[in-house]
Amino acid sequence: MNHIIKITENDINEMTKRAVSLLTESLNEDGEDFGVNVKGELTIDDIKQGEVVYHRPKDSRDSNPLSVINSLMKNGFSREYTGSNGGNMYGPGVYNVYSLRSSNDRATGYGRFIVQSYVLGGFKDFLIFNIDMAKKVYGDEWPIITQIKKLMPSRLAYKVLNTVAGLNHCMNNNRTSYDIKTSIPAKRIVDVLGNDIAKTKIRGIIYSGGHDGNCCFVRNFLDVIPYSYSKDNGKTWTVGITDELIWKAGHDTDVDAMLKNRVNDEGKKMFSDVAQKSINGFVRVYKNDKSNYFDVATNKLISDIWFDFTTDFSDDGTAEVVYNGNKLTIQKDENNFLIVDEDGIPICYLEDLPKMMS
């Protein structure tokens, strides 16, 4: 006799969650991939459960002093943004401070505004050199050597512990003095790991630096959600987060997996590198030291033309590019892309650019 078992939508959702959980556990045990990040729907309250960090972007270059802030509040952080506005000492990621005093005392070389963000998931799986914070996150497993063993496969932990000297005495607990620089052992660990850092659980690093004070480096751009900004060094704050960014915080995924391994009809990789996420519907892609735009909506490049330099597409549908040494502006016009002058007057269609420049 056949029995019919009725499976509801809730049953399917629960089975899916369990499958993802088992996959994540399996990957973590093997130490091969710790980057599975399943978010789903997020609310403002969910985002505000994260740890607060502060970031000073460089001032806008255009006439609108808030253009950089507005872009962050709509699109969040990206590899392209931090490439021109942040550091790169520990690799690609978002460089912040975790105390407002650090953002003010050590603000030389940065912009006038402070962006307050939340780190999704808090500082779990961060390499933490601050003793109090390490105890808060890891309890009795707070010593840095124990953290290393916890966050890395045994092979990599052994390599780090036998290469980087002085790890028993490299932590500090002084949030007001910048004399003890734990940025040095942190950098040595990152250097020893190299590309193998992707095989660890390390989501970021909490350390003290000589220039910026109490620092927080976050590897995944999508884990840092800009929420508000201040014009007066943190005395007052304006909430700027947009509904679009809230949605992206729950649904954005790293586009590397989608594009980085894409091949052409001949089986060769189409791109040598790709941006970590789309900005206003376009992902910057790279090949032979040139760059182009991949249109997420059409699932293809906007043209066969590769540029010497590109910027992200802005909210008004424009992007700055350099082609054969000439600085130009691309304007998206419905289904077409135009080259326009500084007044926005069309010069030619994008596909006609090589002919026009010749």
CA distances, 61 to each of 104, 111, 218, 250 (Å) = 22, 11, 26, 31
What is this structure's pTM?
0.64
According to the model, what pLDDT value does residue 315 have? 76
Lowest mean pLDDT among 1-5, 204-208, 312-316: 1-5
Q: How far is CA 278 from its chain centroid?
A: 12
For 240-264, what is each residue's pLDDT tens digit? 999 988 887 776 655 555 676 677 7
Would the pLDDT of 120 be above 70? yes
For the segment 209-224, the average pLDDT, to the nearest whole number, is 85
Question: In this structure, what token pair is assigned to residue 47?
Answer: 């985002």
Rounded CA-CA distance 15/244 in Å is 29
Taking the alpha carbons at both ends of the chain, their separation in whole angstroms is: 78
What values do phi and psi take at 356, rounded to 5? -65, -40
Would the pLDDT of 5 be above 50? no
Contacts of residue 249, defined as CB under 8 A and 6 or more positions apart, other chains included, come to 39, 42, 47, 76, 120, 222, 225
Would the pLDDT of 190 be above 80? yes
Could you list the beta-strand ranges (E) of 42-158. 51-55, 94-97, 114-119, 126-128
Residue 23: pLDDT band with limits 50, 70, 90? very low
Question: In this structure, what token pair is assigned to residue 97?
Answer: 């401070």
Lowest mean pLDDT among 85-89, 151-155, 227-231, 271-275: 85-89
Contacts of residue 90, defined as CB under 8 A and 6 or more positions apart, other chains included, come to 186, 187, 190, 205, 217
247 C-beta neighbours (distance < 10 Å), count: 12
According to the model, what pLDDT value does residue 32 have? 39
Of 266, 310, 316, 313, the C-alpha closest to 287 is 310
Contacts of residue 32, defined as CB under 8 A and 6 or more positions apart, other chains included, come to 199
According to the model, what pLDDT value does residue 177 have? 44
Of 104, 116, 117, the C-alpha closest to 233 is 104
9, amino acid identity: E
Within a 13 Å sphere around the CA of 308, how many CA atoms are in the beta-carbon half? 7
For the segment 178-195, the average pLDDT, to the nearest whole number, is 85
Residue 65: pLDDT band with limits 50, 70, 90? confident
According to the model, what pLDDT value does residue 251 have? 65
According to the model, what pLDDT value does residue 125 have? 94
CA distances, 74 to each of 80, 81, 221, 227, 240 (Å) = 15, 13, 14, 10, 9
Q: Angle of helix 154-161 relative to helix 183-193, nearest 10 degrees?
A: 130
Tell me the torsion sign for CA atoms 122, 125, 126, 128: positive
Rounded CA-CA distance 124/342 in Å is 47
According to the model, what pLDDT value does residue 160 have? 96
Lowest mean pLDDT among 24-38, 120-134, 189-203: 24-38
Q: How far is CA 325 from its chain centroid?
A: 30
What values do phi and psi take at 229, rounded to 5? -145, 155
For 74-98, what is each residue's pLDDT tens digit? 989 877 666 555 557 888 889 999 9
Query: DSSP letters of 282-350?
Result: EEEEEETTEEEEEETTTTEES-S--BSEE----TTSEEEEEETTEEEEEEEETTEEEEE-TTS-EEEEG
Q: Tabulate helix, strand, coil % of the chain (nearest 5).
A: 35, 25, 45
For the segment 152-173, the average pLDDT, to the nearest whole number, is 89
For 279-308, what is each residue's pLDDT tens digit? 777 888 999 899 999 987 787 899 999 999
According to the model, what pLDDT value does residue 222 have? 84
Q: What percent of the chain has pLDDT over 70?
A: 78
